């Protein structure tokens, strides 16, 4: 599923995100604080290197989508 979403983001070498983008779920500050704590804990363990890389990729994708939403306002 994630690969389907990523392949729709543009041609190779393209940094643009097609609009309209799907809405981003907004999390509470408490949720984000707990999530950050959990991610820091697991990402200090080398056996979770791939998981942490995927989480970083998802984070960057959220930033790109948010940027697209902000441009449409």
Q: Are 42 and 48 in contact (CB under 8 A)?
A: yes
Q: What is the pTM of this model?
A: 0.59
Say which DSSP state 45 is in. S
For the record, the structure tokens of 34 come out as: 């707990």
47: pLDDT strictly greater than 70: yes
| Tokens coding 54 | 């995927």
- Widest Cα–Cα separation across the chain: 42
Question: What average pLDDT does range 47-61 have in this prediction?
Answer: 94
- Angle between helix axes 29-43 and 49-72 (nearest 10 degrees) is 150
| Whether the Cβ atoms of residue 24 and residue 69 lie closer than 8 Å to each other | yes
Residue 52, pLDDT > 90, answer: yes
């Amino acid at each position: 599923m994630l690969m389907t979403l990523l392949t729709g983001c543009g041609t190779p070498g393209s940094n643009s995100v097609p609009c309209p983008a799907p809405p981003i779920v907004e999390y509470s500050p408490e949720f984000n604080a707990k999530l950050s704590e959990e991610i820091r804990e697991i990402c200090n363990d080398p056996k979770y290197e791939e998981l942490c890389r995927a989480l970083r990729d998802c984070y960057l994708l959220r930033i790109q989508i948010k940027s697209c939403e902000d441009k449409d306002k």
